[in-house]
Amino acid sequence: MTDDKRTKLPPIPGDFESLLTPPQLMALRNIASFGWELHFVRREGVEIPIPVVHTADGRKIGVIEEDGNINLNPKITFRDNND
């Protein structure tokens, strides 16, 4: 058994736009027209919040980097929601 030190923050905060850089916001708006959606914003333990996006069918996932580039092979670990 491990102690989970993560706090229970909402996956998409109501003020997410204020957390992201202007290039991240622009990228998010651009990829939305191709069916991508904001899945959550990783905020804990990172200097710049990381928006995690996925396709509507959930088959592809990526992150929007600080400069607005979309990284479809992020070095990020996702936990199973069934935990």
pTM: 0.78
Q: Report the alpha-carbon distance of residue 63 to residue 74 in Å, rounded.
A: 6
pLDDT at residue number 71:
96
Residue 75: phi, psi to the nearest 5? Answer: -90, 70
> 75, 63 in Cβ contact below 8 A?
no
What sign results for the dihedral spanned by CA atoms 23, 29, 30, 35?
positive
Q: Which two tokens stand for residue 79?
A: 């936990």
Residue of higher predicted confidence among 8 and 4: 8
User: Are 79 and 72 in contact, with CB atoms under 8 Å apart?
Assistant: no
pLDDT digits (tens, 9 = 90+) for 28-72: 999 999 999 999 998 877 788 899 999 989 899 999 999 999 999
Query: What was the pLDDT predicted at 80?
Result: 59
Q: Where do the domains of the chain lie?
A: 16-71
pLDDT at 26 over 80: yes
